[in-house]
A and B are shown apart, each in its own frame.
Chain A
Amino acid sequence: MKPSIIISWIAQLVAVVIMGQSLYFKFTAHPASVAIFTDIGMEPYGRILIGVIELIACLLLLRSSSAHYGALLGLGTMAGAVVGHFTQIGWDGERGELGILALVVLASCAIVLYIRRMDLPFISHALKESEKG
């Protein structure tokens, strides 16, 4: 296995573990989670919706043939989370920790996406052409 693929797998697992454990709080309606989603006006459906999206991202990240799609989905969701922290959620106490975790997942997904960029449909062709030159 190429070193870059090993790095990708580490990043995938980091993203899956962090997103995965947050699902438990989302799906069991943990008070902290409910509080955050109440703050941004998405409780309860938004909480479930985001949970489902993250679950799909986790599952996609666990197969090498679909990891790039999982990373894309994870990247999008975490970008949303970071936007939330900067606008409505804030960074106080536990929320700051959650925000840092979101940034970690965002970075992990970006790494996976970069390493597996040639798997992406359409974009990979443009990448190939420019990397050749």
Chain B
Amino acid sequence: MSAKIAIDLHKLAKTVNIAIPTLAVLFFLAGWKLSFYFHFGTVTFILLTLLNLFYTRIQSGHTLLRNFGIMGQARYMMESIGPELRQYFFANDTEERPFDRNARSEVYRKAKNIDSAASFGSQNEFDETEIKIRHSMYPVLHSEQVPFSLTFGEERGIENAYTVKRPFIISAMSYGALGEHAVRALARGARQAGIPMNTGEGGHPKYHLMEGCDLIFQLGTAKFGARNEDGTLDDSKLAALASQDSIKMVEIKLSQGAKPGKGGLLPKEKITDEIAELRGVSKDKDVLSPPFHPECVGPQNTVSFIKRVQDLTKLPVGIKLCLGRPAQFEELVVEMLTQNIFPDWITVDGAEGGTGAAPKAFIDGVGMPLYPALKLVNDILTKHGVRDRLKLLASGKLISPEKQMVALCLGADAIYSARGFMLALGCIQALQCGNNTCPIGITTHDPELQRGLDIAVKSTRVVNYVDNLEHDLEELLSAAGCRSTRELSYDHLFVPVGANLGAMPPQSSSTSSSSSSSIFA
């Protein structure tokens, strides 16, 4: 052991604790006898002495402070700037979560219209578990490609069927989760880019409506904006919302990738008077949505509820869920067949998803990741011959074209993204979404922090991001030898054995009545 030249932190702390009051006395003497200016030191060290006494003698919550005083504080101070230091200096470009620097930079470049060509090879680890796109030996020319078009509600032949011309949708983010500037920048960008935006479950979408973009109204489990006192659906309120011109579709949120099996959560730090009013809740405590719709306690009444909302709104109505037990989903599909009622789309939200605040155990540990969930959902729908009765949307970290392409190959018709668009607005992944302290003013209601988020500039970034995603997707489509996204299939993917798609063992499905016919049983 070379302990002789090592720093003994214990001794150092003890020395400092003795040195502080000693210095206070010395400065006092110097200030008295030499120059009054020394009293600046006297005062400083007297205050530090008092602080140190408080730490070591009075407070008892922190052991380090009690044992070592101010020196113990150094640990907490340095720890508190750890996330920033790691992001600035120490984390490499491929290790940050949820999005590493390479992934984030790619979005920034797309949003700012900067060329993203790279050289000297991929920075990703080219191990054997990564899903890749299999290109064709005979790529298709751009001129031969068919423009994208997807019509929701066409299967039911409804009057208000809604067509999207680009395969991107801004995913559910409520006013409440986001601040006014961010919502308006996204909504304006959506209008300029010609894509729809989901309102999130934030009640009456006042700010989403301001910019005149097409909206998908999300009906969360608490039914903000269309609820009775007891949390059940208020038909007239929903009908009134659905009759607004901008609201083109309605999405019933059954569960969400960030916290499958739990309801939404809006921390009280972020609840302003206005939000409390728009949602009809108190501002003194966290707003917790229930984990499920009171109307949906089994397959039968879930399907009936879809029908009820469809009849009420006369709009395309979809459901959003994060896949848990596939057998339960299959039961739901069988029930849809029995009642001959189908939602106009299903959104599969991967468990990796989530702008939302959620308990860490749920963020980290519950629900199926997007790719295997999407494949299972697509397979179940195909197996029952009902894949053509509805559309399939995918969400969950789909912020780059190659990831989106994989989702399209696995059965998605279009792509939902929330965090991709937050990054386009300039999100730096400070991970403060729940604290009302977002430094770029996206997930905060603090006017001083929102000041920097210029709606006009950032809405252009949203448009650029969509344009460049579309461009890249078209290029990938060409390379895959396809004329439209509809031609994409599982066959266009290279799925190594170690990929999570290959890691789905047969599962027992004791809760399912149709378990014997289950494709994964």
B105 at the A interface (CB under 8 A): no
Q: Which A-chain residue is minimally distant from B39 (CB atoms)?
A: A80
Report Cα–Cα, A40/B302, bound state, in Å. 84
Known: A41-B35, A122-B73, A123-B51. A80 touches B61 (CB 8 A): no
Known: A76-B47, A88-B32, A126-B55. A133 touches B60 (CB 8 A): yes
A132 at the B interface (CB under 8 A): yes
Report Cα–Cα, A42/B36, bound state, in Å. 7
Report Cα–Cα, A129/B44, bound state, in Å. 25
Q: Which of B9-67 contact A (CB under 8 A)?
A: 28, 31-32, 35-37, 39-40, 42-44, 46-47, 51, 54-55, 58-62, 65
Q: Which A-chain residue is minimally distant from B27 (CB atoms)?
A: A83
Which B residues are in CB contact (< 8 Å) with A46? 36-37
On whether the beta carbons of B43 and A126 are closer than 8 Å, the reply is no
A30 at the B interface (CB under 8 A): no
On whether the beta carbons of B46 and A79 are closer than 8 Å, the reply is yes
Q: How large is the interface on A (under 10, 10 to 19, 20 to 34, 35 or more residues)?
A: 20 to 34
On whether the beta carbons of A88 and B61 are closer than 8 Å, the reply is no
B77 at the A interface (CB under 8 A): yes
Q: Which of B446-483 contact A (CB under 8 A)?
A: none
A20 at the B interface (CB under 8 A): no
On whether the beta carbons of B37 and A126 are closer than 8 Å, the reply is no
On whether the beta carbons of B36 and A84 are closer than 8 Å, the reply is yes
On whether the beta carbons of B32 and A87 are closer than 8 Å, the reply is yes
Task: Give A92 Cβ to nearest chain B Cβ, in Å.
Answer: 18
Q: Which of A26-50 contact B (CB under 8 A)?
A: 40-42, 46
B28, B36, B62: the one contacting A126 at CB < 8 Å is B62
Interface membership of chain A positions 112-133, coded 1 if the CB is closer than 8 angstroms to chain B and 0 otherwise: 0000000000110111111011
B32, B43, B46, B59: the one contacting A129 at CB < 8 Å is B59
Report Cα–Cα, A132/B65, bound state, in Å. 16
On whether the beta carbons of B32 and A126 are closer than 8 Å, the reply is no
Give the B interface residue count (CB, 8 A): 25
Residue of A125, A126, A132 with most chain B CB atoms under a 10 A cut-off = A126
Which A residues are in CB contact (< 8 Å) with B54? 126
B40, B43, B77: the one contacting A122 at CB < 8 Å is B77
Q: Which A-chain residue is minimally distant from B59 (CB atoms)?
A: A130
Q: Which of A75-92 contact B (CB under 8 A)?
A: 75-77, 79-80, 83-84, 87-88
B36, B44, B65: the one contacting A41 at CB < 8 Å is B36
On whether the beta carbons of B76 and A130 are closer than 8 Å, the reply is no
Task: Give A120 Cβ to nearest chain B Cβ, in Å.
Answer: 10
Report Cα–Cα, A18/B62, bound state, in Å. 38
Task: Give B145 Cβ to nearest chain A Cβ, in Å.
Answer: 56
On whether the beta carbons of B61 and A126 are closer than 8 Å, the reply is yes
Which B residues are in CB contact (< 8 Å) with A40? 36
Known: A41-B36, A122-B73, A122-B76. A127 touches B43 (CB 8 A): no
On whether the beta carbons of A132 and B61 are closer than 8 Å, the reply is yes
On whether the beta carbons of B59 and A84 are closer than 8 Å, the reply is no
Which A residues are in CB contact (< 8 Å) with B35? 41
On whether the beta carbons of A79 and B62 are closer than 8 Å, the reply is no
On whether the beta carbons of A84 and B61 are closer than 8 Å, the reply is no
On whether the beta carbons of A79 and B43 are closer than 8 Å, the reply is yes
On whether the beta carbons of A129 and B61 are closer than 8 Å, the reply is yes
Which A residues are in CB contact (< 8 Å) with B65? 126
Which B residues are in CB contact (< 8 Å) with A76? 43-44, 47
Which B residues are in CB contact (< 8 Å) with A122? 73, 76-77
Binding site for B on A (CB under 8 A): 40-42, 46, 75-77, 79-80, 83-84, 87-88, 122-123, 125-130, 132-133
Q: Which 7 A-B pairs have the closest CB atoms?
A: A129-B61, A130-B59, A40-B36, A130-B61, A79-B43, A76-B43, A126-B59
With A41-B36, A46-B36, A122-B76 given, name 4 new contacts (CB 8 A): A79-B43, A88-B36, A126-B62, A130-B61
A-B contact pairs, 23 of them (CB 8 A): A42-B37, A76-B43, A77-B43, A80-B42, A83-B28, A84-B39, A87-B32, A123-B51, A125-B76, A126-B54, A126-B55, A126-B59, A126-B61, A126-B62, A126-B65, A129-B59, A129-B61, A129-B62, A130-B58, A130-B59, A130-B60, A133-B60, A133-B61
